Amino acid sequence: HAARDEGSVIAWFDTTVSSRLAERLRLAGRIHSAIDTEFELYYQPICHASDGTPAALEALLRWPQADGSFIPPGEFIQLCEDTGLILALGRWVIRAAAQAQRRLADAGWPLPIAVNVSAVQFFNSDLVAEFARATQEFGLERGALQVELTESSLMRKPAQAKQTMQRLHEQGVCISLDDFGTGYSNMSYLQHLPLDILKIDRSFVSDVETNPRNASICRALLSLGHSMGLTVIAEGVETPGQHQWLAAHGCDQVQGYLLGRPSPLVEVIARLETAEAT
């Protein structure tokens, strides 16, 4: 009996695992054929903390579905990394962001656009060439594109990371460290990297006014970033109180639903024009 029970447990486990695998494979196939046709980039403003005027935009992937919903990046980026699909998708994102920056500049709003680059993409694609090609194809100014990297990208292969960052810098591409505070960075090592911007993770910002622990973390990250000569951005700013706290504590820029939700480029341009007119 024991043996048979064990067998059925294993059989049950196998079906669950293999159906989950089949599901992932199906999704990967859908992503593969969707890359050049179905994905969209939305853009969220990153604003000066002092007066709320826009300093840059962050490009965020959206995968619209037939029923009008979106599959959020949290549900497909990891799969894209695991399957290598991130290389083709990431290439598409860089080119689409470059095209958007051209449109933005032509509309009279030459704001830089920041592109998220995942660790697999950072180490396995010729990122520098992809940025150079996109910049040239759309005739962008130096500084028109930025890169957002996470600590896991930088800590994995430090020497290669540093070299790629230096070459991006030579192209005029500024580099942000995204989701800062959630990883395990070695501070003394970070100091030697050519970073420009530090983005404080949303988890520390959400209750900064009421949670003394997060308030001290934010103060520490602001002082760390500024001591390294970096611009500091707070992510996930949703209330005027958070904005005021951050501005009062010297945070340079703020990003979050309070300042604007991620939206299609045409809507961002329309909002920039309305704000200018008022």
Binder to Mg ion among 148, 198, 256, 269 (CB under 5 A)?
A: 148
252 makes contact with Mg ion (CB under 5 A): no
- Of 31, 49, 77, 234, the one binding ligand C2E (CB under 6 A) is 77
241 token code pair: 């109180």
Residue 179 binds Mg ion (CB under 5 A): yes
Q: How far is CA 202 from CA 113, 137, 194, in A?
A: 20, 34, 23
Of 255, 243, 259, residue with least CA distance to 201 = 255
Give the torsion through C-alpha atoms of 114, 116, 121, 127, to 10 deg.
0
φ, ψ (nearest 5 deg) of residue 74: -55, -25
Structure tokens at 278: 């008022």
Q: In angstroms, what is the minimal distance from the CB of 23 to ligand C2E?
A: 20
The one among 44, 101, 116, 206 contacting Mg ion by CB under 5 A: 116
CB nearer to Mg ion: pick between 81 and 235: 235
**What is the total count of residues that contact ligand C2E (CB under 6 A)?**
22
Binding-site partner at residue 262 among Mg ion, ligand C2E, none, CB < 5 to 8 Å by type: ligand C2E
> Is the separation of the CB atoms in 156 and 119 below 8 Å?
yes
For residue 61, the partner it binds in ligand C2E, Mg ion, none, with Cβ less than 5 to 8 A by kind, is: ligand C2E
Question: Cα separation of 15 and 230, whole Å?
Answer: 51
Q: Contact between 61 and ligand C2E (CB under 6 A)?
A: yes
Measured between alpha carbons, how far is 83 from 117 in angstroms, rounded to an integer?
16
Q: Which amino acid is at 198?
A: L
Which of 127, 179, 232, 234 contacts ligand C2E by CB under 6 A? Answer: 179
When asked if residue 116 is in the footprint of ligand C2E (CB under 6 A), the reply is yes
Stretch that binds ligand C2E, among 67-75, 100-108, 129-137, 219-227 (CB under 6 A): 67-75
C-alpha distance from residue 92 to each of 87, 97, 130, 153, 195 (Å): 9, 9, 10, 20, 24
SS3 of residue 43 by DSSP: strand
| Positions in the binding site for Mg ion (CB under 5 A) | 116, 148, 178-179, 235
| Positions in the binding site for ligand C2E (CB under 6 A) | 44, 60-61, 72-74, 77, 93, 116-118, 148, 178-179, 202, 235-238, 256-257, 262
